[in-house]
A and B are shown apart, each in its own frame.
Chain A
Amino acid sequence: MHELSIVASIVDTVTETLAALPDTSKGARVVEVRLRVGALASVVEDSLQFCFGIATEGTTLEGSRLVVNVLPVVMHCEKCDEDVEIEGVQSFRCPKCGEPCSDLRQGRELEIEAIEIDEIDEVEEKI
């Protein structure tokens, strides 16, 4: 249930990013926010979406889409000596040889990958 604090942090980061953009991008509107969330990141997409609607009200992110790209767990299997994708999060065994794996290579990500913005063209602005 910490999705609201996570979303609040997303709003802060995106707002800071917009402020740091060059002058030509001033007044840009955020259309989409893309996240990369690992299957072990402990956040629920429905909850994120719900909180996103609330937390973005009255900000430059208001009305934007939140796209959550869920990344599967990837472990390094010592026996096969390669990175293997684990299906689900109920068993951390190599799907090829069945060996238990403890070396996590992907799955805890919680990051903003990119934002899509609409910039107001100068010509448009003059009209």
Chain B
Amino acid sequence: MTTRIVELRRGILKKNDELAAELRASYAAAGVLVLNLVSSPGTGKTALLELTLKELRARGARAAALVGDLETDNDARRLRTSGAPVRQINTHGICHLDAEMIGKHLDGWEGVALGGLDYLFIENVGNLVCPSSYDLGEKIRVVLLSVTEGEDKPLKYPTMFNSADAAVITKMDLAGPCGFDRETALKNINEIRPGIRIFETSAKTGAGLQEWLGYLEEARAGRII
């Protein structure tokens, strides 16, 4: 018996990373800005997206969404009321979206071609752990945190917050009743991801929405890296 070491140095998620790189190239070629929205379940990804799609369309932009959940097409039906094309991805138990799922759902999406879009939003499965490992080829990863969740969420889930490009604090209309400590929340986000752009929104009152939309338009125009 001879014992031998075989060097591999191979990424475990290499297949996903390669697919994501292909997707990234196709988004860039089509000129569509792709965002990956991540948060815990119930933070308000769908509520923010519903408003965002509606407002972007009102401004004449072409926006669409892919939305991930373990089961049901409830979110897709809800988002379609904005008038934007929306496709549901059911993962049937898998806790995250991966590049292969995105590719499959972009292919054969009736009436939707990447080249005909300005914005594509991907609403990930509600989970602050696993989606952080899976690149979907997005340009911007947005992490959402609601005022009802506690200011220490970034410290509890540093891997996700550290991998994000922008953060949105949602349900700001509930900040008072929840005793939300805004300064601590901002400090914690900055401790984990120094210098990240932070938005404070309420889908109920529309607070902070203009700033968020302005950011999307800037990013779309390529003025934000």
User: In the assembly, what is the distance between CA of A120 and CA of B3, in Å?
Assistant: 9
Rounded to whole angstroms, the CA-CA distance of A124 and B2 in the bound complex is 10
Q: Report chain B residues within 8 Å CB of A124.
A: 1
Asked whether A116 and B3 contact (CB < 8 A) given A40-B158, A41-B133, A110-B133, the answer is: yes
B:1-45 near A, CB below 8 Å? 1-13, 15
Q: Do A90 and B191 have beta carbons less than 8 Å apart?
A: yes
Q: Are A119 and B1 in contact (CB under 8 A)?
A: yes
How many Å lie between the Cα of A104 and that of B95 in the bound state?
26
Determine if B10 and A112 form an interchain contact, defined as CB atoms under 8 angstroms apart: yes
| Number of residues on chain B facing chain A (CB within 8 A) | 34
Please report the number of residue pairs spanning A and B whose Cβ atoms sit closer than 8 angstroms: 112
Give chain B nearest CB distance to A72 CB in angstroms.
13
| Residues of chain B lying within 8 A (CB to CB) of residue A120 | 1
Proximity string of chain A (89-127) to chain B, C-beta cutoff 8 Å, 1 when within and 0 when not: 111110000001110100010111111111111001000
Q: How far is the CA of A8 from the CA of B25 in the complex (A)?
A: 28
Assuming the A-B contacts A2-B96, A42-B129, A43-B133, are A115 and B8 also in contact, with contact meaning beta carbons closer than 8 angstroms in the complex?
A: yes
Please, which residues of chain B bring their CB within 8 A of the CB of A113? 7-9
> In the assembled complex, how far is the CB of residue A96 from the closest CB belonging to chain B, in whole angstroms?
16
- Contacts A40-B158, A104-B162: A118 and B3 contacting too (C-beta < 8 A)? yes
* Chief secondary structure at chain B's binding surface: mixed
Closest-by-CB residue of B relative to A12 is: B15
Complex CA gap A17/B129 in Å reads 29
A-side binding surface: helix, strand, loop or mixed?
Answer: mixed
Contact status B12-A13, CB under 8 Å: yes
Smallest distance from the beta carbon of A125 to chain B beta carbons, Å?
Answer: 10
Are A6 and B6 within 8 A (Cβ)? no
Complex CA gap A119/B5 in Å reads: 10
Shortest CB–CB separation between residue A79 and chain B, in angstroms?
12
Question: Beta-carbon contacts of B151-168 to A below 8 Å, as 1s and 0s?
Answer: 000010011101100000
Residue ID in chain B nearest A103 by CB atoms? B194
Least CB distance, B93 to chain A, in whole angstroms: 10
Residue B190 at the A interface, CB < 8 A?
Answer: yes
Interface string of B102-139 (1 = CB under 8 A from A): 00000000000000000000000000011011000000
- With a cutoff of 8 Å between Cβ atoms, the chain A residues found around residue B222 in the complex are none
Does B179 belong to the interface (CB within 8 Å)? no
- Residues in A whose Cβ lies below 8 Å from that of B4: 25, 28, 116-119
Known: A113-B8, A124-B1. 5 other contacts (CB 8 A): A1-B129, A13-B10, A42-B160, A115-B5, A117-B3
7 contacts between A and B (CB under 8 A): A1-B129, A13-B8, A13-B12, A25-B4, A102-B193, A117-B3, A117-B6
Closest 6 CB pairs of A and B: A100-B194, A2-B130, A89-B158, A42-B159, A119-B2, A112-B8
